[in-house]
Amino acid sequence: MAAADIAGLTIAEVREKIAAWAGDHPGWAELEKDRRVGVRKLVVERRRREARQQLERERQVKMLHFEKRHWDQGASRVAGVDEAGRGCLAGPVVAAAVVLPPDCAIVGLDDSKKLSPSRRAALYEQILTGALGVGVGQVEAAEIDRLNILQASLKAMRMALNALDTAPDRVLIDGHMTAQSPYSEQAIVDGDARSLSIAAASIVAKVRRDRLMCDYADRYPEYGFASHKGYGSSEHLAALSAHGPCALHRRSFGPVAELVAEPRSELYASFAEGL
């Protein structure tokens, strides 16, 4: 594009024209010399955006390090596994298993905790359509109380793996422990920030559980599950104190356990005072 051609365009028209330009388009050199500050700003914005995109590509390549090692060894289906809701006072623990293709084109996958709800929701849909496989498992509050939260989380992970249409060749799991599944497993500390497959699983587990808790909010409106999703927020603790626990609450967890504990008898109180 010649300088004369640029000079005859408004800034809005320039913005529209350069939208389809590649980074090596010869017209960029002319835009950088334009006398209008607004046009030169368009160049700066584009360069910054390209730099961010390049950093994102490099980050995602780095986050495929564990998967690539297994792919290079002949494992074509590497599943990432993560859970959501482990520290909640109410609701299930939900786990997801996601198998990504080597040419994964989903941009922005990251630890679900680093993403906004709207970004998680958008990525969730892309994962469902772009992954080779997605499996979800959940363990309810009553079973969490019976097993303990660690064993319940591991069970949810095994359920998620079993829910995959095709069995994985390798399994990458967030945390210190493996799920004790029949598959070859590798535990990765901070895996949701280091493995793209685990990051995808963290998003699926989080979105599925959050939506489930929003559904429960209609059934138990007094607890505010739609806002805190079962975590021990001040709002949730106040509702627990006012209404007591419901069927979704984990009775083995501290604040809930204190509410459902049997009151001490007067005889015990007198005995305790004498100790």
* Each residue's pLDDT tens digit, 193-224: 999 999 999 999 999 999 999 999 999 999 99
Confidence of residue 273 (pLDDT cuts 50, 70, 90): low
For residue 270, pLDDT beyond 70: no
Rg over alpha carbons for the chain, rounded to the nearest Å, is 26
Confidence of residue 55 (pLDDT cuts 50, 70, 90): confident
Structure confidence at residue 263 (pLDDT): 53
Note the residue count of the chain. 275
Which residue reads 């959050």 in tokens? 210
Sequence-distant (6+) residues with CB within 8 A of 102 are 67, 68, 71
Structure confidence at residue 271 (pLDDT): 39
Which residue reads 């587990």 in tokens? 205
Reported as a single tens digit per residue, the pLDDT across 156-193 is 999 999 999 999 999 999 999 999 999 999 999 999 99
How far does CA 236 lie from the centroid of its chain? 23
Residue of 189, 233, 234, 231 whose CA lies nearest to 206: 231
Confidence of residue 262 (pLDDT cuts 50, 70, 90): low
The pair of three-digit structure tokens given for residue 41, joined into one six-digit string? 């700003």
User: Beta strand 184-188 with 170-174: parallel, antiparallel or unpaired?
Assistant: parallel
Structure confidence at residue 126 (pLDDT): 98
Q: Delimit the domains of the chain by residue range.
A: 3-62, 68-216
What topology does CATH give the domain 68-216?
Nucleotidyltransferase; domain 5 (3.30.420)
Mean pLDDT of the chain: 91
- Cα distance between residue 157 and residue 204, in whole Å: 13
| DSSP sequence for 165-204 | SS--SEEEEESSS----SSEEEEETTHHHH-HHHHHHHHH
For residue 275, pLDDT beyond 50: no
For residue 266, pLDDT beyond 60: no
How far does CA 48 lie from the centroid of its chain? 27
Amino acid at 239: A
Share of the chain above pLDDT 70, in %: 93
* Segment 78-106 mean pLDDT: 97
Positive/negative CA dihedral, 114, 101, 158, 63: negative
Reported as a single tens digit per residue, the pLDDT across 106-152 is 999 999 999 999 999 999 999 999 999 999 999 999 999 999 999 99
The pair of three-digit structure tokens given for residue 255, joined into one six-digit string? 């604040």
